[in-house]
Amino acid sequence: KKGYMMRKCCWYSNGKKTPLGKRKWKMFYVMLEGMALCLHKNENGFKKQGVTDNPDNLIRIYHAFAEPALDYKKKQHVFTLYTADGSKYMFQCSNTKDTEEWILSINRT
């Protein structure tokens, strides 16, 4: 699965809260590739650089868990992603179907 999503980083690894100033929502072109989400500025970036691009923009999803962000009321179509190393992200999709697909794709990986 692949496509554009907005992403916000809530916790770095080990549940460490992302500091103020680094909590912005940001648009990425996201690609589920093996056991990772690869995040790129846009589709072009992905074609040029492939998956080895910037390791900061690679989220490992082995033993990760995604669920709808039901308690987050500011935006629609948001899901939360908890990773095995204790980080937490939120992703905003474009519609309900897309959100469900991302959650299923991540959780079955």
**C-alpha span between 43 and 47 (Å, rounded):** 6
Segment interacting with ligand I3P, rule: CB under 6 A, options 18-26, 41-49, 55-63, 81-89: 18-26
And the tokens for 7? Answer: 């992403």
Q: Which of 2, 9, 25, 68 is the binder for ligand I3P (CB under 6 A)? A: 25
Choose, by CB under 6 A, the member of 14, 20, 55, 71 that binds ligand I3P: 20
Binding residues with ligand I3P: total (CB under 6 A):
7
Minimum Å gap between C-beta 90 and ligand I3P is: 7
Residue 90 structure tokens: 């939120």
The residues in 47-86 that bind ligand I3P, with binding defined as CB under 6 A, are 74
Contact pick of 13, 15, 23, 84 for ligand I3P (by CB under 6 A):
23
Backbone φ, ψ for residue 37 (5° rounding): -95, 125
Q: Can you give 21-83 as a three-state secondary structure string? A: CCCCCEEEEEEEECCEEEEECCHHHHHHHHHHCCHHHEEECCCCEEEECCCCCCCCCEEEEEC
Residues forming contacts to ligand I3P in the complex (CB under 6 A) are 20-25, 74
